[in-house]
Amino acid sequence: MDKKFQIHCEDGLARAGEFTTEHGTFSTPNFMPVGTKATVKGVDVERLKEVGTEITLVNTYHLWQRPGHELIRDLGGVHSFCNWHGPILSDSGGFQVFSLQEIREVTEQGVHFRSHVDGRKLFLTPELSIEIQEALGVDIAMVLDECPPGDWPHDKTAESLEMTHRWASRSLDSREKSTTNIFGITQGGCYQDLRTQSAEYLSTLPFDGMAIGGLSVGEPKEKMYEVLSYHPAQLPKDKIRYLMGVGTPQDIVEAVYRGVDLFDCVMPTRSGRFGRAFVGGEKPYINIRNAVHGRDLEPLDPECGCLCCRNYSRAYIHHLFRVEEMLGPQLLSIHNLVHYLDLIKSIQRAIREGRYEEMYKQEMDRWATADEKAA
């Protein structure tokens, strides 16, 4: 295979390119809908294709639990299992080290869990995480890492970082398939010296891409933006840069401006399930549950061409939420994914045309105005 990541053009620090895997090539910058359990909640594969998805994400920990990686391997791998035949990236289970703190214990060798499903004792190591991901047959596997909470002190974060680096080396050493791309993950909280140390160390290892972990875990947004102001540029220029678990459309525009290439977040589908629709115009989002929409015959977004906006009014979708019909969350999830992926296409186009600075300023002003009105 030729060079996996290629940068076709740059505009400031923003880059437009593509990354090639065994199951196809996706353009960058890009956004991955999150299919934690081998499904994007409420959205089938045909809809994912229609909205412009090029790469999606599954979760190692959850598929290890149910139905089990051996079963998925025996059934032909996760692509066949869920009928998505484009590129798939898998989280390593590292986020569960953060999110399941009450039922896990971290040691040098790995993480002891009590299964959130049935209470079984589990032990996830860096080696087993890669083994599971290769059994699933994903295109991009993430190293197992410890994601420290945003409020940890410097000394504790530094200790965690050193172990994460050791785990990263062990993850790389356990790869058996040449077709598995493995990405390293930087940590270090919001401490610039630790982030710098992490970037320097991981850059010495032969990863296929670099991820930025440990952001959007409870720290103030301005702290996240502070890290993004310097950290992406510390990573190797010739490797794809992935910001894990982030975030709002505003966050994506900001991170691309700083040199990030790839994103994932549950926000478009989770927001859709709770009635929030991301839209264009002066206000970046609306809550369809609000009574003001009950007699509104306009679509969610007049400029949007998604399935939802082509066929249904705000009043109808408001009704679906009021009577708790599952179609409401499904339609909003589809709409929000279209909003995100259309944003990605606009970002790619702006970079190619050398006007990303202009787009960046317009989007930041739009969100700032909305924040001021909400205050």
Looking at the predicted structure, is the pLDDT value of residue 1 above 50?
no
The mean pLDDT of 345-349, rounded to a whole number, is 98
Q: What is residue 17's predicted lDDT score, i.e. its pLDDT?
A: 98
The mean pLDDT of 328-351, rounded to a whole number, is 98
Query: Domain 5-264 class?
Result: alpha beta
Q: What is the DSSP letter of 29?
A: S
- CA–CA gap between residue 32 and residue 137 (Å, rounded): 17
Mean pLDDT value across the chain: 95
Share of the chain above pLDDT 90, in %: 90
Q: Which residue has the higher pLDDT, 262 or 283?
A: 262
The mean pLDDT of 104-120, rounded to a whole number, is 91
DSSP character string of 202-256: HTTS--SEEEE-S-SSSS-HHHHHHHHTTSGGGS-TTSEEEETT---HHHHHHHH
Structural domain boundaries in the chain: 5-264, 272-374
Active-site hit among 91, 139, 251, 301: 91
- Exposure of 276 in the CB half-sphere (CA atoms within 13 A): 12
Active-site hit among 145, 208, 261, 264: 264
Enter the tokens of residue 24: 């196809």
Q: Which residue has the higher pLDDT, 370 or 196?
A: 196
Amino acid at position 332, single letter = L
Band the pLDDT of 100: cuts 50, 70, 90: confident
Burial (CB count <10 Å: 0-12, 13-18, 19+), residue 184 = buried
E strand residue ranges, 109-188:
111-114, 121-124, 140-142, 181-186
- CA–CA gap between residue 348 and residue 7 (Å, rounded): 12
Q: Decide if 251 is catalytic.
A: no
Looking at the predicted structure, is the pLDDT value of residue 282 above 70?
yes
pLDDT digits (tens, 9 = 90+) for 147-205: 998 889 999 999 999 999 999 999 999 999 999 999 999 999 999 999 999 999 999 99
Enter the tokens of residue 159: 């200790």
Q: With CA atoms as reference, report the closest residue to 341 among 287, 268, 254, 250.
A: 268
- CA–CA gap between residue 304 and residue 259 (Å, rounded): 28
CA angle, corner 346, sides to 349 and 297, nearest 5?
150
The mean pLDDT of 291-303, rounded to a whole number, is 98
Band the pLDDT of 307: cuts 50, 70, 90: very high
Enter the tokens of residue 27: 């353009």
Is this model's pTM higher than 0.95 or not? yes
Q: Decide if 91 is catalytic.
A: yes
pLDDT digits (tens, 9 = 90+) for 69-91: 999 999 999 999 999 999 999 99
Q: What is residue 239's predicted lDDT score, i.e. its pLDDT?
A: 98
Share of the chain above pLDDT 70, in %: 98
Q: Which residues pair with 34 in a beta bridge?
A: 57
- CA–CA gap between residue 303 and residue 279 (Å, rounded): 9
The mean pLDDT of 329-357, rounded to a whole number, is 98
The mean pLDDT of 363-374, rounded to a whole number, is 82
Looking at the predicted structure, is the pLDDT value of residue 27 above 80?
yes
31-35, 40-44, 130-134, 145-149, range with the lowest pLDDT: 145-149
